[in-house]
Structure 1
C-alpha cells in the first residue's frame, strides 16, 4: 500500500533488525526469527513509535501544542508518547489508570512511570476509567489532540502496515509459516494483518480470544476507512488466549519461563505484560520444523515495574552462591582453601 500521502515524522530507526536465533531455535525444534522492534529510535524503542510517526504528524498538521493519551500505570505507549513529544516540542499529559491489582514503589514509581516524568510528561494517576475521562476532559483545549489507548487509531495502524512491508523486504523469498505477535489494543496486529497474508497468531494479553479479535476487526476497519479500501478480511489472524492467565499485567509461571529462555539463549529481554505472554504462547504452540517470526514489540522498561518478581525469577536455575564459590576456588590454584 502506498502510504506516501500521509504525513509522517521520523521517530524510529528503520528497518529494525530481523535476528536469526540459532540457540533459541535449537531449544524449540523450529526456526525462530525475531523482529526487533524493541530496539532503535527514541525513548528506548518499541512498537508504539511506528504508530506515533503517523498520529503525531497529523497532530502537528492540525496545529496541536498538547497531546493527551491514556493507559495503565506501566504503559509503554505513554512512555513513547512522552519521549516523542519531547522530541517534537509538544506538551504531554498522561492519564493513567490503575488497571492492574499491583502497587508498591517499583510498580508505581519505577519502570515506565519514571521515564514518563524524565521525558517531561505530566502524569495523572487515576483509580477508575471515569476519573480518567474527567481529567482528560478538563485538560482539553483548542490545541489539544487526544490519542487512544495504545495509539491504536485508524491512522496509527499505518505504522504496522509499513512494518509488514519492511519485514517482507527483509525476508525476501524465505518462507514463513506464522507470525507471532502480542495483541492488546489491536493496532499492531491490525496493521500486520492489512500488510501481509502470512498467518498471524495474535496472542491476547488482556481479553479472551473472541473479544480480542473483535478489537482487531474494529481497529482494522478504522484503518480501512483511512486507506479508503474495502473492509478487510482477517481470516489469516488467529487469536490465542492460551497465555492470558488471570488477565492484563498478571504474568504466569510460563511467562517468566519464556523470559528466561529468550534471555539465556539469545540475550533478548522480554517484558512480562506483552512480549512475555506472546513468547509463552510461542514456546507452547510452535510446531516442530516451522519457521516463525516473533514480533518483539518492546516494553523492556516495564520489566522493572515488576522488580521484586524479576529478582526472584531471574535466580531460578542459577547456581547457589556456595556452589559457584566452591567451583571457583577449586578451579583456580591458590584462590582459596
Structure 2
C-alpha cells in the first residue's frame, strides 16, 4: 500500500511538472524577447566610442578622445572618413569600423584574433546601446523569436514627432510633414533580429548631450574659428566617401579640402564653443537636390516610403509581404493598409 501511495504521489508531481514546464518556458521567452528599436536612436559620439574602444582592444588607456582617435588611427581602425569626435555613430560607421578591425588584425596591428576583437567591439557597442550588426550577403541569420512585437504603427511615429520633435537618426520613414528634413542612407543592417534596408538622418543637426556630467555636442556642423566659417558634413556624401577627412585618414586624396592645415584636428576635432554654429556655412556641394534619392529598382535595395511613417520594401508580385535579402531569417515587413 505504501509503495502504491508513493507511486501515485510521484505520478502527480511528474504530471504537474509536465503541465507547468511549457508555461515556464513561454514566460521566460516573453521576458527575453526583443521589441523593435526606438523611433529616436541614442546619440553616441564617435569620440565617446573611440575612448572605450581603444581600451577594449588593448591599445591603451586614455580619457582624451583626440588621443584615443589617434591611437586607433595609427592601428588603421577608423571610419571611412576618419574620426570626427562630435559626429554620431550610425549603422554605416559601425560597419566601417568592423571592417577596419578585421584589416587591423590581418595586418597584426592588434594582438588578438578576429573573433576576440569583434567580440570586444560588439561588447562596447552593446554597452553604448548600439545594437547594430551590418548585413552580410550570403550569411545565414537566425529568425526573429516567435511572438516578437511588430514595427511601430504610423500613429505612434507621428505622435513621437509631434511630442518629441524630429530625431537625429531614425530607422523608420518620417511622417510626410518632416520628410524633407531627412536624408536616406541605403546601408542595410540588423538591430537585434530586426532588419532595415537603411536609415534616415537629419540633413542638419546640432544637439547638446550630457556625458559624465559634461556638456558635449552631437553635430554635423564644425567651426573654423579663425576664418569664421562653418563646414557641414553631409551624411550621404560621407557614406559615399566624398566628404572632409578626420583623424586617422592616411591618404587625403579624394576627400574635400578645407584649405586649413591640420583641419582634421583644428576644425573637426578642435574645442567647440557652447553655442549654436553661425549662419555662414561651407558645405560640400552635391548635384541636384539636397534630399538623397531612394535607391532605384533593380538595385536589390528596399525603398523608404514617405507615406504613413513606416519603412516599406517594394512588394513582390502576388503578395504584400517582403522579406530581407538573406537566407533563413529575419522578420518580414508588412505593407501598411490605408484606412
Name the TM-score, length of structure 1 as normaliser: 0.28
Q: Which has the higher helix share?
A: 1
Name the TM-score, length of structure 2 as normaliser: 0.27
If you compute each CA radius of gyration, which structure gives the higher value, 1 or 2?
2
